[in-house]
Every structure is written in structure tokens, then in C-alpha cells.
Structure 1
Amino acid sequence: MPRTAREKSYESIYHIMVRSISEVDLFKNDEDKVRYLQTVKNYQDKYNFKVYAYCLMDNHAHFIIDANGADISRIMHGINQSYAQNFNKIHNRHGHLFQDRFKSKIVDRDEYILTLSGYIHRNVEDLPYAKNNIKEYRFSSLRAYLGLEKDRFEILEEDFIMSMFGNNSQTSRENYLEFLNNCSDESIKLEVEFVGEKTEYRSERRILERDKSPEEVKEFLAEELQTAATVINLKYNRRATHFKALCVLFLSSFCNMSQKEICNYMGNITQSRISTLCKLALKLIKDDYQGIINKFIQEHYKCA
């Protein structure tokens, strides 16, 4: 039976749920959960999507994701495929890990996103070792919402939801706590602490149109790397390899090109080579070219 077409919009916010097959936990230990969130961070660096809330359980996970102009299917397929490959290697297993495709639902109103955030943060109550003290659970965005710690994985943008509870951060946390406690009949008492430098929540949702041309990308990267765009045709050259890697990343993220399209554009190189270059690019933007993506956004998007 053919699959039903997934409802998508490049301007949408989604409730995302991923679940493992019934006979195996999606996360066997805390190290697996760390690896999954690190994988989310890697793909966030690539596609510039936003995460408004999350919670990782043992056999499934929930996210509120703002695609920010990117393709949600491409994002989640990349995250889950990368994680599954590493999971199977580490735990010496073969075969599928995830149960079918990820589940997604478009969040179409403020009331729903608020209720959803409460549902996701209280999901932890289903874990025996966390149900009586959900504020201590390390793999949920709740601790960042309440100011108990900073976002350890640097993937979260809590301002978007918290700004709906007030501009002052402590007031927002107290209001969110009250809201959370009223999400169900059970009473959970949490102590709100003030941590961090922010005193106000200000959030404006902006969408990045993934409509830039390959020529814009090549011109920008050539200037940043202080080289000619023709270096893309060179082999066995370190600067050329860096240029190609960053070009692959930018073409995928800002031109919305598929791997096949990038292969043809780059001169019929293989999809395996594209994947290798993309991994290199993610490392480069962390180690050698920090801020290059933000600079491209600032220079090529009026809304930035």
C-alpha cells in the first residue's frame, strides 16, 4: 500500500515524534541520548532549523521544530539515518532501528504550541526514575525553560515560547511553571531558579527562504576563502577541498538542492563523496570557519 503524502510547508512549525521498533530501545543509555542530540546539532548547523522544545525518552523522542524554510523530511531523514548507523555500529547490531517514518504534525496556532510544550515536558513522568522530579531529567528542554541550566547541546531557542508568558524572564518562568502544573490533574511542585544573564525574552520568528543561486554561494565562498571559484575543479588541493566541502553544505542548505542535483552541479561526483564533503564542512565551520554561515545569512537575507 503506498504511503500517504506527508503534509509539509517550508514555513511550518512541527511536532515531531521518532520511535524505535518494538524490540529495541531507541536509547540504551545516556550516551546514546547525548549522541542523538549531538546529531541534531550537526544537522541544525547544516540546515539552520530551530528547536523550541524536546524530550528524549527510552524508546521515543518528541521535538517542536521550526523548519525555518528547510525541508523537514530531509532534516529528519538525515538525523535518523546518521544516528541509526552509529547506533548499530556501537551496539553491534544490524537492521532497522526506527519504527517507520518519523511522525509529524503541523502546529498551526499558539494555543497548540503551548499545550504541546507542556505535554512534551511532562512526558518524562512516564519514566519511573524521573516521574517524581521531572526538573532533574537531563534530556529534556524543561531545565533550560526554568533557568536551571543553560542549553547544554546548544540546539534550543526557548525564547519563542517563553515570550508568550511575559517579557521578564523570571516572571515568564513562574508563569510557565504554573501553566505546566495545570497541564494535568496531578500536582508537581518545581522550584524556579534564576540562572543566566538574560532578563527579558524577545523572540521574532523569521523564515529563511532557501532560494539562493549556486552562483551566489560560490561567489561568497570564493571571497571568504580568498580564492577563485574555479578552484572547485582542482584535485588534491587542501583549499580546493575546503571550498568544495563548504559549497556542498551551502548548496544543500541555502539552495535546497538534493544530493543528486549537487552531484551534477559539482561535476558528476558520487553521492558518497557528497556525504563525506558535507561531514568535513560541518567540522570546518566549527574549527576553521566559525561564523561563516551567520555571515552569509546577514549578507544575503534582508530579514537577518
Structure 2
Amino acid sequence: MARTLRLEFPGAIYHVTVRGNERRTIFRADADRVRFLEKLAGKVDEHHIRLYAYVLMPNHFHLLLETPRANLSRFMQEFNTAYTVYFNRRHERTGHLFAGRYKARLVEGDPYLLRLTRYIHLNPVCTDAMREQSFEEKRRFLHAYRWSSYRSYVGIVRRESWVDYGPLMELVAAGSRDREQEYQQFVEAGLAQSDAELQTVMSRSSKAIGSEEFCRRAEEAYRELAGSQGQVLDVAMRRRENPFPLETVISAICSHFQVTPEFLRLRRGTHVARLLAMKLLKEEAGLTQREIAVWLGLKDGSGVSRHLAVLNHMLESDEQLARTYRSIRKAIRG
């Protein structure tokens, strides 16, 4: 059987679904889920993926992600292999864990990102066992469910440094001081009423999620890809160019704060310029946390991870800092 073609370009957004072989469970204990998330976090950083949402179910998982480096296939192959090797060794089994290749549909950006995250985050209460439960019972179950990004979006638990919360929070509550509450209300409205419009959108194409025009262009791009033996032709669908040079990012930060690169590299502690350098080197220059640590003189990527978690929390509560971040990012992008 021919392998499924993947349309890849910088800035592509995908809804990825992976199911267990013969719909069998892919997690036998919480330890498996913990290890799954550890490996996911590592591969997200290694491949410069922007992960917007995830959920783990007994026999499948969902990811909503963006690929600034047009590398979905490599990321998914390495991640699925890493978890399969772990799972087979731990449970003394052999053979395939997942059912064939993963399903990945292109997403048409902002108009559908919010609704897709709601769809993903509501998965745990859309099972047969939960379908007849009351609104409050579903809500309590959702708040207690540990294996998705939802609880960290709404402030029940601390945010994870390898999940990119910013774009979705800006979409749901631009200008609001309590974005977590706004997002919680948006998602939990789906407990009472299904999103019929999203269901219609998701049924339009097996290749894409979006408007009729977007789905048509995606289908055409896949046909061209099949005819060109893997050469991607649909440049018009790109959202973002390749990462910016490290020097461009550092220059923008130094210019804004009137400091030198040496100040960023040699200063210890959590000066805001240094924190923003970590975030923008990751987002705009595409560096891994380990590479950022080396440049800034830290011991390893775990230090960067901790600082990013602090900064992301600050950005949610400090509008002046958020404006500074957006201003520097705008300067980098020209």
C-alpha cells in the first residue's frame, strides 16, 4: 500500500490524530502517560514545534500543532517510534503499537483554532460512559482529567513550558484581563451544546479543516504533490517564513532595552530582557532550549524551561510586558 502523502510547508497547522493498532489501548498505566508527555515535550523542543493543544485518550491521542520548519513527518515519525520503543520494552511486547500512519489535516488558522481546541479538550467527556452524565458531572470530570492541556489553559494547574498558550488566549479574549476564565467559559459551553458548524467544517475534506475554498486548495495541493513525486507546490498556503537569524532576534532585543549582547549572555538572574531573549530565540530564531541555554550561559535546557514558564505567566498578567514582547516581535519580523 502506498504511503499517505503529507503536505508540508513552514507555518502549516495540523490537527493530528493517532490511534492504537486495532483500536487497542496505548496506555496501560499512568506511568505510560507520564512518559508519553515527557517524550512529547522533548520532541516538540527538538523539532521546534508549536504545540497548541493535546489530549490523551485510552486508545488514541490528539495534537493541534504548527510546524515553522515544515517538518511534521520527521517529528511524528521520531515521536511515535520513541514512545513505541518505550511501551514495548516496558510491557514486554513486540510489533506495532499504532494503527498505520497518523492522520493529519491542515487547519485554516485563526477562525478554526479555537473551536478545534474545544473539540480536543472536550474529548474526555464525549465517551459513551460520560454521554448521559449531567452538565455538572461532565464539568467536574473535565476539571479532574489530568491528561490534556485544558487544565493548564484555565489555571487549574501550572502551565507547561512546551505548550504555546499565547495565540489561543489572544483569540478567545483579546484585551481581557481574565483570559483563563474567558477560555474556560468558551470550552465549557460545549458541554451543553455541540458545535454543529465545526462538525460540518470537519466533514468537508479528509485533508483539511477550514472554509470550502481552503479545503479545495488543500485537495488540489495534495493532487499536485502526488503528481510531482513529493515536491510541494502550494506556496500560497504558507503562514510563516523560515526562522529568523539569531543575530536579528538579539539585535531587536538589545535595541529595545538599550543593552549589548554581552549583557544578555553574562547577566545572571531573571532580567526581563534575558527572559524575552529566551522566548524570542525559541519562537523566532527556532533554537531549542538546549541551544538557548548554551548561548545564554546556562547549564542546560531545563533552566530555560523554568524561566519560560515564569515569563509566560508574567505575560498573561502584565499587559505592559505583553506589549513589549509584541513590539520586539514586530521589529524582528519587520
Q: TM-score range by the shorter chain?
A: 0.5 to 0.7
CA contact (8 A) 1:49 1:70 kept: no
The alignment yields a C-alpha RMSD, in angstroms, of: 3.7
Q: Percent identity?
A: 29
Pick from 142, 153, 160 the counterpart of residue 145 of structure 1.
153
Residue 92 of structure 2 is aligned to residue 84 of structure 1? no
* Cα displacement (A) at 1:31: 1.0
Question: Does 2:159 match 1:159?
Answer: no
CA 1:45/1:63 → structure 2, altered by over 3 Å: closer, same or farther?
Answer: same
User: Counterpart of 1:42?
Assistant: 42
CA 99–150 in structure 1, closer or farther in 2 if over 3 Å, else same: same
Choose the corresponding residue for 2:188, options 162, 165, 181: 181
Secondary structure of 1:8's aligned partner: coil
| Partner residue of 1:209 out of 242, 250, 264 | 242
Long gaps (5+) in structure 1? 188-205, 213-223, 225-252, 256-280
Corresponding residue for 1:96? 96
Give the conservation status (yes or no) of the 8 Å contact 2:53–2:117: yes
Which amino acid in structure 2 is aligned with residue 85 of structure 1?
Answer: V
Instruction: Give the number of the structure with larger relative contact order, counting CA–CA contacts within 8 Å between residues 6 or more apart.
Output: 2
Runs of at least 5 residues in structure 2 that lack an aligned partner in the other structure? 195-238, 246-264, 266-284, 308-327
**SS of alignment partner, residue 13 of structure 1:** strand
| 1:114 counterpart = 2:121 | no
> Counterparts of 1:114 and 1:254 in 2: how far apart (Å)?
24
Evaluate the alpha carbon distance shift between residue 137 and residue 254 of structure 1 in structure 2; reply closer, same or farther with a 3 A threshold.
closer
CA distance in 1 between counterparts of 2:181 and 2:304 reads 37
Give the aligned residue type for 2:185: E
Q: Distance in 1 between matches of 2:17 and 2:162?
A: 17
Shift in Å, 1:144 = 1.1
Question: Does the aligned pair in 1 maintain the 2:51–2:163 contact within 8 Å?
Answer: yes
Number of residues of Structure 1 aligned to a counterpart in Structure 2:
216
The normalised TM-score by structure 2 is 0.56
Contact 1:27 1:58 in 2 (8 A): yes
Conserved? CA contact 2:68–2:243, under 8 Å: no
Correspondence for 1:5: 5
How many Å apart are 1:13 and its aligned residue? Answer: 1.1
Structure number having the greater helix percentage? 2
Deviation (angstroms), 1:162: 1.1
1:280-295 matched pairs, under 5 angstroms? 288-290=299-301
1:129–1:150 Cα change, 3 Å: farther
CA-CA distance at 1:254 after TM superposition:
7.0
- The structure-2 alpha-carbon separation of the partners of 1:186 and 1:27, relative to structure 1 and needing over 3 Å to count, comes to same
1:114 touches 1:161 (CA, 8 Å); kept in 2?
yes
For the Cα contact (< 8 Å) 1:69–1:207, is it kept in 2? no
Separation in structure 1 between the aligned mates of residue 177 and residue 101 of structure 2, nearest angstrom:
37
1:129: Cα distance to partner? Answer: 7.9
2: CA distance, partners of 1:134 / 1:32? 20
**Is the 8 Å Cα contact of residues 47 and 70 (structure 1) preserved in structure 2?**
no
The residue type equivalent to 1:158 in the other structure is Y
**1:73 aligns to what?**
73
1:58 match? 58
